[in-house]
Amino acid sequence: MTVTSMSFIFLLIFLHSLSPMHSLPLAPALYVFGDSMFDSGNNNILPTIAKADYLPYGVNFVKGVTGRFTNGRTVADFIAEFLGLPYAPPCVSIMSLSTPLTGLNYASGSSGILPETGDRFGKCLNLNEQIDLFKRTVRSELPRHFKSPEELSEHLSKSIFIISVGSNDYINNYLQPNTYNTSIRYPPQPFAQLLVDSLGQRFERLYNLGARKIVMFEIGPIGCIPSITRQHKHNGQCVEDTNQIVSFFNQRLPALLKYLTSTLQGSTFVLAQANFLGYDAIINPPIYGLEDSTNPCCITWANGTSGCIPLLTPCPNAYKHFFWDAYHLTEAAYSLIATRCINDTSICTPFNIKELVQL
């Protein structure tokens, strides 16, 4: 072998070592819980009509159609990229395969905090059932990869847990009086307290299973989503009465997360204040590089108030749209939320994700 060829080989090795794909991740794993905002394909296998396993969903995603309820990446995907981890695979689809050490996605479209939320669409995994699956992961699958319980505990304590849940408890439950009687039984503020109390119990379960760094996303401004704005009379761009109802839940989150952080030893609960950011992007889209914050990008059922119609060509400039279908956001909108949560303590508080991984 000549000196020139050896030098070339050493140069390739050096450049290879600089690749971010081979740098150490910032956290050992990312565990994802919630609803269709984060679902990466769990609903593909569940007996439900709440699915996104067809085009145009995934039209801009590198892996194509996966069951993500958007055109590309979700907030969870952007956070995984920042952490230097693979996208968390859907838990349900790998039950018979080897459990990855880099995290799993338990999120399920149409699910909520309350067990009955979403059941009119078929079977989904409510938050408690998602934690049941995580319990199986922790108790039965992960131990075989670690030499001791202490090593497993350290793995979990340094991992990042992200949760986006609660929207469907309003969209598919409280705001559906012909299907559910929750709005009859509970005024808005007691209902919000019911959700927050239930959520606190779920968080304690996660803590007892080893979670320590937990990021909870607020419910977004659902009074602005096309499925609401196109079916209710309103002044302005959003149905503000609906936004007000949801605000009672978001207003109670900070106290819950502070309480849990102070009482559950070694825990850090982060509040992702995504509601105002989303609302501002909807009301002032040019500030965020967007042009359309009113209409779905894909062609949906029921005149823009439902999911994408299969195989129809969506708008050509999804990166300029806030909404992908009548409920979900585009990759561009998710990128905005994730980037702010990673870097900005005014959105993710008291620590952004960049700071959270260093704790």
User: Where do the domains of the chain lie?
Assistant: 30-357
What span, in angstroms and rounded, lies between the C-alpha atoms of 87 and 209? 22
- In the prediction, which pLDDT does 267 show? 98
- In the prediction, which pLDDT does 98 show? 80
pLDDT band of residue 99 (cuts 50, 70, 90) is confident
Element at 348 (helix H, strand E): strand 348-349
pLDDT band of residue 5 (cuts 50, 70, 90) is very low
Q: Domain spanning 30-357 has what CATH number?
A: 3.40.50.1110
Phi, psi of 268 (to 5 degrees): -135, 115
> Is 220 a residue whose pLDDT tops 50?
yes
Residues identified as active-site: 36, 325, 328
| Mean pLDDT score across all residues of the chain | 93
Segment 27-83, tens digit of pLDDT: 999 999 999 999 999 999 999 999 999 999 999 999 999 999 999 999 999 999 999
Segment 126-163, tens digit of pLDDT: 999 999 999 999 999 999 999 999 999 999 999 999 99
For helices 331-343 and 274-283, the axis angle rounded to 10 degrees is 130
Segment 238-281, tens digit of pLDDT: 999 999 999 999 999 999 999 999 999 999 999 999 999 999 99
- In the prediction, which pLDDT does 359 show? 97
- In the prediction, which pLDDT does 243 show? 98
Which residues on neighbouring strands pair with residue 38, listed in sequence order?
none
Asked whether the beta carbons of 327 and 307 are under 8 A apart, the reply is: yes
- In the prediction, which pLDDT does 7 show? 42
What span, in angstroms and rounded, lies between the C-alpha atoms of 136 and 147? 18
Strands (E), 218-276: 268-272
> Is 6 a residue whose pLDDT tops 50?
no
User: Which residues fall within 8 angstroms of residue 73, CB to CB, at 6 or more apart?
Assistant: 61, 81, 331, 334, 335
Segment 155-197, tens digit of pLDDT: 999 999 999 999 999 999 999 999 999 999 999 999 999 999 9
Segment 273-303, tens digit of pLDDT: 999 999 999 999 999 999 999 999 999 999 9
Asked whether the beta carbons of 107 and 33 are under 8 A apart, the reply is: yes
User: Which residues fall within 8 angstroms of residue 150, CB to CB, at 6 or more apart?
Assistant: none
- In the prediction, which pLDDT does 95 show? 66
